[in-house]
């Protein structure tokens, strides 16, 4: 039933504000508790803070995945839904056995046993035009990788510092303010990760010939991951040039070597845990990827990087300002 004011005009009920997926995370500044603000980034505070920030880190993980949406085009292309499917022997030895059989013209019981073992068929997928289009669309991840990493790093930094987090607004604002540096940094970062992973894969499967290169590549990959802890954090915190960020990150790699190594091992354990879940039950690994993996590694990296950045770049600045 409508109500009227003293002038006889109908009084309209206030409209309800529309809620969106992130509406619960755009206004929580006054909810910061004392327990969320830590000054001593030690071993016990790591688990205490992670437990208190666990739910928001799940949302950060969702932003990592949804922000890099082009990767879903790659997964769709690799799924085989749009491929031409055929069959071929799955064993690499089959062509040799079959060639010997054709050349000799004989078919003994031993050949029959070998053909039964190595002649088993498996499906073969041939790419189509749709697959190539999907691969092309997935290449857009080189444009999203850097900005999304920068935005999620900013949110994780505030979670570690104990500052208010406005999830969706902070995500958009950081991309808007840092995309000029984040895009080239993301391209370089993605290229380094792909090349290091490919080199590790090749050296591992040729271990007998390249075992020295294999262990050298592990060291290079580890040091680069150390740098990643600092690169995006400095990008969203300071106004620094591109190469100055890389230079400072390389310095912090050595200054915080102990913390970096500890957090690197923790990230490796988390990745191995996800793989282990996949061996037990694939949906468990999928849940871990969509809820824990990326934000968990980002939290560990930030927990290692922020105390060092604060000690060597932020605290001296404020001390100098107080003296002046």
Q: Is the pLDDT score of 264 beyond 80?
A: yes
User: pTM (2 decimals)?
Assistant: 0.81
Q: What percent of the chain is predicted at pLDDT more than 90?
A: 60
Confidence of residue 319 (pLDDT cuts 50, 70, 90): confident
**Would you kindly state where each structural domain of the chain is located, as residue ranges?**
35-69+141-318
Confidence of residue 235 (pLDDT cuts 50, 70, 90): very high
Confidence of residue 24 (pLDDT cuts 50, 70, 90): very low
What b/e readout covers 28-59, taking b as 16+ CB neighbours within 10 angstroms? eeeeeeeebebeebeeeebeebbeebeebbeb
Tokens of 92: 């690499």
Confidence of residue 94 (pLDDT cuts 50, 70, 90): confident
Q: Look at residue 33 in the predicted model and tell me its pLDDT.
A: 62
Q: Are 57 and 296 in contact (CB under 8 A)?
A: yes
Q: Give Cβ neighbours of residue 143 (< 8 Å, ≥ 6 apart).
A: 183, 186
């Amino acid at each position: 039933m409508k109500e009227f004011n003293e002038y006889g005009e109908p009084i309209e009920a206030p409209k309800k504000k529309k809620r969106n997926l992130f509406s619960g995370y755009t206004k929580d500044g006054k909810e910061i508790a004392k327990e969320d603000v830590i000054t001593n980034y030690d071993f016990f505070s790591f688990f205490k803070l992670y437990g208190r920030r666990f739910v928001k880190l799940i949302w950060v993980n969702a932003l990592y995945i949804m922000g890099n949406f082009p990767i879903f085009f790659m997964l769709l292309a690799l799924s085989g839904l749009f491929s031409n499917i055929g069959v071929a022997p799955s064993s690499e030895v089959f062509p040799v056995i079959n060639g010997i059989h054709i050349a000799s013209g004989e078919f003994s019981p031993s050949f029959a046993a070998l053909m039964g073992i190595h002649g088993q068929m498996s499906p073969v997928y041939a790419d189509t035009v749709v697959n190539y289009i999907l691969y092309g669309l997935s290449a857009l991840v080189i444009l999203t990788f850097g900005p999304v990493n920068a935005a999620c790093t900013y949110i994780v930094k505030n979670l570690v510092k104990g500052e208010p987090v406005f999830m969706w607004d902070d995500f958009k604002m950081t991309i808007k303010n840092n995309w000029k540096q984040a895009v080239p940094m993301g391209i370089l970062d993605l290229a380094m990760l792909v090349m290091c992973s490919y080199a590790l894969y090749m050296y591992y499967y040729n271990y007998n010939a390249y075992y020295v290169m294999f262990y050298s590549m592990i060291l290079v990959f580890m040091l680069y991951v150390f740098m990643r802890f600092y690169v995006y954090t400095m990008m969203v915190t300071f106004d620094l040039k591109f190469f100055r960020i890389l230079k400072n990150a390389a310095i912090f790699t050595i200054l915080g070597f102990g913390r970096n190594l500890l957090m690197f091992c923790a990230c490796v354990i988390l990745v191995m845990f996800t793989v282990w879940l996949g061996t037990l039950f694939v949906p468990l690994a999928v849940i871990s990827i969509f809820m824990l993996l990326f934000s968990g590694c980002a939290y560990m990296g930030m927990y290692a990087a922020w105390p060092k950045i604060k000690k060597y770049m932020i605290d001296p600045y404020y001390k100098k300002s107080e003296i002046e």
